[in-house]
Structure 1
Amino acid sequence: MAPLSPLPYSDTFSDPDTYVESLLNFATSSSLFQTLCGGVHILDFFTREPDLYATVLPGSWREWLQERGVEDILDLLMRENLDQFATTSQGTIIERQQNQELPWRGGPRPPESLLCYIQDIRKHLLRRDFQPPTVPGKLGLRNAERGNLSRKIAVGMKPKKIHEVQNFAQYVDDLASEISRGTSCEITHLVDFGSGQNYLGRALASQPYHRHIVAVESKKHNIEGAKSMDITARLAEKGKLMRHKREYRSQIVALNSGKGTANGDPATPEDNLEGMSTEAVTEAMAKFSLKEADILYLNGEGKGSVQYVEHMINGADLSPVVRQIKNVSRATGDGCAVETIEKKGPGRCDNMDDLDNRKGLERPLFPRTDVHGVDLGNPPEAFNGDIHLASQEGPPADISASALSPQSLMIISLHSCGSLVHHALRSLIFTPSVTAVAVIGCCYNLMTERLGPPTYKLPTLRPCPNPRVVATSAACDPDGFPMSERQARYLHGHGEGVRLNITARMMAVQAPQNWTPASSADFFTRHFFRALLQRIFLDRGVVSVPSAADDIVGGCPTSPDAMGTEPIIIGSLRKACYTSFVSYVRGAVTKLSNNDPVRGPIIASLMSGLSDNEIADYHTRYLPRKKDLSTVWSLMAFSAGVVEAIVVVDRWLFLKEQRDVIKDAWVETVFDYQQSPRNLVVVGVKKSS
């Protein structure tokens, strides 16, 4: 079930413990790594004195880098075979007399310290190569054709999402099957944390997997959108509102009893509506109405199901979700069908047996609720021709014993943001019905901090940080990073515990191995424009000089009382704004001026009078330093792969530390890195009780 190695580390290391110790030692002892991963930011580049480029990089590096293009530098960092620079069997780069003068790509060879740093980063990166599931010993379906998503299931997905859902659905299905075979407890439900539009759940509930999915999502509009896509994909029918007309009319009359029309005739139900308030009409309509509470898809034997649960996951306690999970019918049926009851032609359904014999219909198993979701209990057995429901004591007769057995849940998640992965892993430990987890993380910058602010103060992504970002970075959250005691108590030269600030964690989601000459040139230009605009902001008084030596220059507004403490965030601009620096400045200032009613007029006033010639002059003066900025950014993105390794390893360590509960835990790749760079899944399997 688990891969041969629990972590995809380099062949340089003999076992996981050796790799983990080397990783933590390097991350806490290399000052250059700490500087490039958390110690510098692009906004700092043209506002620092002395020059940031000269401060961060050694002189020998700068001398060599000056003669190299950015593409050569990227190749050296990530693709060039370092064996040509002579390495020992232990992997330490040495000088060989016969190779000392050999050129590299028509120029001098890289400095030895740069080569050593590159090798240190490379050997501590987790391997990201992906092998298709047809490889023996690899989880996933052996028949590749079964993994292809049908057109109706792939509706709304981009190629990247199709790749992710197709491969992860195969992986999850095979993993759940392996766990069921290897333990005494069969996986009954897959609980998707942060299901969003439920792309993954829709695939797993459908052919060929037919899994029972509990889609947990905090945003109601995402749930409603997912249900609409279920209908589009023909996995569900549009819900019907059903009303008991006779009882509904009686209720209307009862609410306005004794009231008559203007000519003295008795009032009809429709007449009574005229004298009622909107709230009373709504209440009357709701009281004797029936509506699907969740759109629960009930299928035949061996078929899948989907249930949506609106819930904000903010800790390890999964009981609010577990209590809402519905047992599903095992009765024979065809395909996916929403629990609906239809009229029998133009007349009525005379009895439940007649209703049950209708093709494609089953007895409704969901709770009787009104349009507000209020439980109506068991209605009378006989109504008019709209619907006919039989009152029931206890569970419906068509639920098998297996459906009533204790639930065994497996938590899955495709790119959970921030600490949501932490909650999933802790739920495995603290929720008895959770048997396993298989989660893929992203958005490391949104993780909370367990140890509080970093031991060494470094410039943050936003100099006067957004309150939400500050809260997630500086709060001492017991569920935050690091999760493992190994990393939380790791002793090093700066003290105790591994700490990563927001900038380091944000850089960890970069994918430099996927950069092309065109794409890298594009975002290097964008970074250059933004950094240079920050210089203009400083010169024009829009932002102030730093109050401390390690603050970012120009981060905070000059007048906090007037402009608040929010950072100046420009965000995306129209493509035309990036055709020239003049267009960029004009577009950015216009957006800031129009979108912020408080600070916008102040920024517009301070930036007024700035001519196009002055803006162009800034561009001319600073353009020779664009390559320096691009070089530092490349080094930052390359180095930040180690940050991601630290985060992923911490999650694996946490599971391994729960020896009394966890049977097995590992990390492996489930996507092609070029398609989806966040391709590492963390898996944990609980011991059988």
Structure 2
Amino acid sequence: MFPSLCEVSTDQLKEAVKKLLQFLHETLQISGAHTVDFYTQDIWKKLVAVSPETVLSAFSKHNGTSHHIGKEVPELSSIFSNQQLVNIEAFVEASHSHSLVNMGICTSVDELLEALAVHKAGSPDLKTDQFMNDKKSHEVLIMSQLVQSIANICGVKQVIDLGAGKGYLSSYLSMKYNLKVYGIDSSDTNTDGANRRNQKLKKYWKTYKTDAREVSKAQESDQNKDCLLPNYSCQEVNTDREIPKPKSCFPKLEESSISNDLKSINVSEWKRDQENYQRTLQPADSDRSSPFLDILPADAVEEQTFSKSVHKSLSEQEKEQRKMENISIKEQRGSRVYLPLTCKITVETELSEIIEDLEESIMVGLHTCGDLAPNTLRIFTAKPEIKAVCSVGCCYHLLSEEFESPEEEITVTTWGFPMSIHLKESSWFFGRNARMSACLALERVAVGQGLATESLFYRAVLQVILKDCFSVTQSDKRVGKIFSKSGNFTEYVRKSLKKLGHDDSELSDMEIMEYFEKYKPRKNEMEAFNMLKVLLAPCIEALILLDRLLYLKEQNNLAWSGLVKLFDPVKSPRCYAVVSMKKV
């Protein structure tokens, strides 16, 4: 389908998985260790035969990451002896070699866009920093361009955004790229928030419009020519000049709290609500001097309370006139709309029951949690109307694993991991602790961001107190976010004991601090051990994502499938997208 784009073969994937499994099997005792039990089970002495200083020095020396494509991978026998880590340099080399970035399996987003014949115009994107933080803006700008280009080559104009959350990606796709987007989320709060955010966006663009009226007619004409929303194509919007910002009337776009009396949208009421909504919409402004207004959908979702107040103030004749105008607007701009819906999506979900005008679509997901990411791929392969998928998963610790607890009687039929027949045959599983390790961000830690060592240290010492003073040996109970609410270790322990149902009066402040002073010299052991887990995080993530790609390779109706590195991993640690397109 794309002659210029290399595709990894199934045999290459299986070979990579084989080597990765061998490495992960030897290192699972490290990634699967529970930090809470670090001191009670003397994990450092049990698993590591080098000093903490040696580990921290090796991590610092390599800056967390390095380039290893084509380099020979150290033998496991040189890394471990009697189940203990004995060679930290070889461990670092091996862990880097078994990460996606060094396997030579991923496709860069630039390569994929070039293969899809996307030509960047060189002009800046629509400014998103007024209603998104830097991380979200980075993600939305890059992913929306890829989604648009895939939709274009597949000949579709409808997008289904699973786990749409606050609707940032959905809103941007509909506003900039003239796509009809359905943002589906299981949370009423997220759906309500998306509705309110659409209203805020309209106010944002209207503010720009008011300010733009001060610009000369010649400038306005030039801006409209340069900034008009493009027709359905791969070309980027060409905006060569900045539009002046309002001085003091610029609206704040921070998310407001959701009012308790706002009705949540659900599937059964959606059709009725939309019909009522269409009757009460205001017409688009005739003066569209601002390019931002050209980009905003005329039929963007409004709050029901606002619509009802407009309805009451209009005469019957005006209502009918408004209705006819909006029908005309919808015909002209029917494809450019974003509709948030509340529904829990499963593999068995019939999309046509949720989306009345379902047509050929691309399915997307930006940081879909746990099992929703693999289920997005299953829906894609099962539904003929879904022509392509672009899925970025997250929250690996929430994945369900088929072989994690084989002795338990579980009624689950669709598991998050593994997906592929190849990995199912091995009955491989990680366990929750290792999946938690996969959520660590190596690149962020390498630049001094990420690990909350102090809070982990507090929790590990607390576990020693629980074992010694209250005979608690299990570490499955959680104390929550007490660390951030505590001024010192003594306060942390007392609050934690009360939450766990223990009498903190049995311990004096002096006794509590004795534990703290005893383990404080060993704090560097925990810091070094967490660095080992950080180094293994990309390897665990690699197997999860390779399993998803293998699953797609096992299907017979797909034109191209691959793992695409979309984002800067420092800005967005879960930076890999699973992308696939069906045969025409």
Q: Which residue of 1 aligns with 2:136?
A: 161
- SS of the aligned residue for 2:481 comes to coil
- SS of the aligned residue for 1:147 comes to coil
CA shift for structure 1 position 450: 2.7
- Aligned with residue 487 of structure 1, among 398, 409, 423: 423
- Kindly indicate whether residue 445 of structure 2 is the aligned counterpart of residue 515 of structure 1: yes
Q: Which residue of 1 aligns with 2:236?
A: none
- Kindly indicate whether residue 472 of structure 2 is the aligned counterpart of residue 504 of structure 1: no
Q: Is the 1:71–1:517 contact (alpha carbons within 8 Å) kept by the matching residues of 2?
A: no
- Kindly indicate whether residue 540 of structure 2 is the aligned counterpart of residue 643 of structure 1: yes
1:193-241, CA deviations, whole angstroms, 9 ceiling, x for partnerless residues? 011111110001103x11100111112221111101101100899xxxx
Which amino acid in structure 2 is aligned with residue 123 of structure 1?
S
- Aligned with residue 27 of structure 1, among 21, 46, 57: 21
1:238-266, CA deviations, whole angstroms, 9 ceiling, x for partnerless residues? xxxxxxxxxxxxxxxxxxxxxxxxxxxxx
Q: Which residue of 1 aligns with 2:197?
A: 229
CA shift for structure 1 position 93: 8.3
Which amino acid in structure 2 is aligned with residue 200 of structure 1?
L
Which amino acid in structure 2 is aligned with residue 610 of structure 1?
L
Which amino acid in structure 2 is aligned with residue 55 of structure 1?
K
Q: TM-score scaled to structure 2, two decimals?
A: 0.70
Label 1:117 to 1:476 Cα distance change in 2 as closer, same or farther (>3 A). farther
- Aligned with residue 634 of structure 1, among 528, 531, 545: 531
Partner Cα distance (1:481, 1:655) in 2: 14
- Kindly indicate whether residue 380 of structure 2 is the aligned counterpart of residue 428 of structure 1: yes
- Kindly indicate whether residue 187 of structure 2 is the aligned counterpart of residue 201 of structure 1: no
Q: Which residue of 1 aligns with 2:156?
A: 187
Q: Is the 1:126–1:645 contact (alpha carbons within 8 Å) kept by the matching residues of 2?
A: yes
Label 1:432 to 1:353 Cα distance change in 2 as closer, same or farther (>3 A). same
Which amino acid in structure 1 is aligned with residue 469 of structure 2?
R
Partner Cα distance (1:635, 1:82) in 2: 18
1:508-544, CA deviations, whole angstroms, 9 ceiling, x for partnerless residues? 0100221167646x61121111100000011111513
- SS of the aligned residue for 1:439 comes to strand
Q: Which residue of 2 aligns with 1:125?
A: 99
- Aligned with residue 40 of structure 2, among 47, 67, 74: 47
Q: Is the 1:27–1:34 contact (alpha carbons within 8 Å) kept by the matching residues of 2?
A: no
Which amino acid in structure 2 is aligned with residue 637 of structure 1?
V
- Aligned with residue 125 of structure 2, among 125, 129, 147: 147
Partner Cα distance (1:673, 1:358) in 2: 44
- Kindly indicate whether residue 570 of structure 2 is the aligned counterpart of residue 674 of structure 1: yes
Cα RMSD after superposing both structures: 4.2
- Aligned with residue 362 of structure 2, among 405, 410, 435: 410
- SS of the aligned residue for 2:101 comes to coil
Q: Which residue of 2 aligns with 1:116?
A: 90
Q: Which residue of 2 aligns with 1:533?
A: 462
1:418-472, CA deviations, whole angstroms, 9 ceiling, x for partnerless residues? 11112111112211211111100001111122334279xxxxxxxxxxxxxx99x
Q: Is the 1:582–1:615 contact (alpha carbons within 8 Å) kept by the matching residues of 2?
A: yes
Label 1:4 to 1:120 Cα distance change in 2 as closer, same or farther (>3 A). farther
Label 1:485 to 1:573 Cα distance change in 2 as closer, same or farther (>3 A). same
Label 1:451 to 1:6 Cα distance change in 2 as closer, same or farther (>3 A). farther
Label 1:535 to 1:434 Cα distance change in 2 as closer, same or farther (>3 A). same
Label 1:227 to 1:52 Cα distance change in 2 as closer, same or farther (>3 A). same
Equivalence map 1:430-449=2 (5 Å):
430-449=382-401
Question: Unaligned stretches of 5+ in structure 2?
Answer: 77-84, 206-271, 285-293, 302-306, 335-354
1:642-664, CA deviations, whole angstroms, 9 ceiling, x for partnerless residues? 110000001011011002x2121
Q: Which residue of 2 aligns with 1:493?
A: none
Partner Cα distance (2:400, 2:471) in 1: 31
Larger radius of gyration, structure 1 or 2? 1
Q: Which residue of 1 aligns with 2:221?
A: none
1:549-605, CA deviations, whole angstroms, 9 ceiling, x for partnerless residues? xxxxx33xxxxxxxxxxx42111136462x532232234335x1xxxxxx63xx1x2
Paired-residue identity, %: 23
Q: Which has a greater percent of helix?
A: 2
Partner Cα distance (2:144, 2:275) in 1: 27
Q: Is the 1:295–1:338 contact (alpha carbons within 8 Å) kept by the matching residues of 2?
A: no
CA shift for structure 1 position 30: 5.5
Q: Is the 1:441–1:678 contact (alpha carbons within 8 Å) kept by the matching residues of 2?
A: yes
Relative contact order (C-alpha < 8 Å, sep 6+): which is higher? 2
Which amino acid in structure 1 is aligned with residue 173 of structure 2?
L
Label 1:523 to 1:358 Cα distance change in 2 as closer, same or farther (>3 A). closer
CA shift for structure 1 position 160: 0.9
Q: Is the 2:24–2:540 contact (alpha carbons within 8 Å) kept by the matching residues of 1?
A: no
1:663-689, CA deviations, whole angstroms, 9 ceiling, x for partnerless residues? 21111111111100101000111122x
Q: Is the 2:150–2:388 contact (alpha carbons within 8 Å) kept by the matching residues of 1?
A: no
Q: Is the 1:449–1:481 contact (alpha carbons within 8 Å) kept by the matching residues of 2?
A: yes
CA shift for structure 1 position 360: 8.1
- How many residues of Structure 1 are paired with residues of Structure 2 in the alignment? 469
Partner Cα distance (2:329, 2:73) in 1: 67
Partner Cα distance (1:430, 1:517) in 2: 42
Q: TM-score scaled to structure 1, two decimals?
A: 0.60
Q: Which residue of 1 aligns with 2:477?
A: 568
- Kindly indicate whether residue 137 of structure 2 is the aligned counterpart of residue 137 of structure 1: no
